[in-house]
Amino acid sequence: MGHYSERLLSYIRTAVQAATQAKEQVLRDYGITSAQHAVLAILSDHDAITSAELARLAGVTPQTMNSTVSRLDSRGLLVRKPHPTHRTLIELSLTAPGNDLFQRADAASVELDAVFSSGLSAEERAILVDLLTRVTDTARAVSEHRR
């Protein structure tokens, strides 16, 4: 297999670290983290979902999600309200300021995505997306098999 630095996992790790660092720097201008951006993105697509659903969609533990939600709630970026039929459940929704912040931060994220793609042709980008999707699917299958 060769030296660890030549393995696919090393290239994936390096790409993820570099992309995450660049995204964190961009989002810092909006006062949010990548994790908070992900939550705002999910809430922008799913009005009124529970924290458990949000955690599942974000791929994090409920405990991690509770911490992120609390931070966003304290800033008035989301609102918690009782579920209309299951009163013990709490639903989360974006507030107008939360949606505004998401739209602005996401526009910057779109620009960053374009910068990442700028060195690739449209065909290369499509190939990269396909390859990364296949690696992701394989990694998830391995993970599921080991559970």
Q: Write the single-letter amino acid at 144.
A: E
This prediction has a pTM of 0.85
- Per-residue pLDDT 10s for the chain (147 aa) are 678 878 899 999 999 999 999 999 999 999 999 999 999 999 999 988 998 999 999 989 999 999 999 999 999 999 999 888 877 888 999 999 999 999 999 999 999 999 999 999 999 999 999 999 999 999 999 988 887
d(CA 63, CA 60): 8
Looking at residue 122, the DSSP 8-state letter turns out to be H
Give Cβ neighbours of residue 25 (< 8 Å, ≥ 6 apart): none
pLDDT at residue 83, rounded to an integer: 81
Please report, for the domain that includes residue 13, its CATH number: 1.10.10.10
Provide the domain limits for residue 24: 4-146
Q: DSSP 3-state assignment of 119? A: coil
Domain count of the chain? 1
pLDDT for 85 equals 82
The pLDDT assigned to 1 comes to 63
CA-wise closest residue to 55 among 71, 38, 78: 38
Query: Is the distance from CB of 49 to CB of 92 less than 8 angstroms?
Result: yes
Tokens of 102: 């998401």
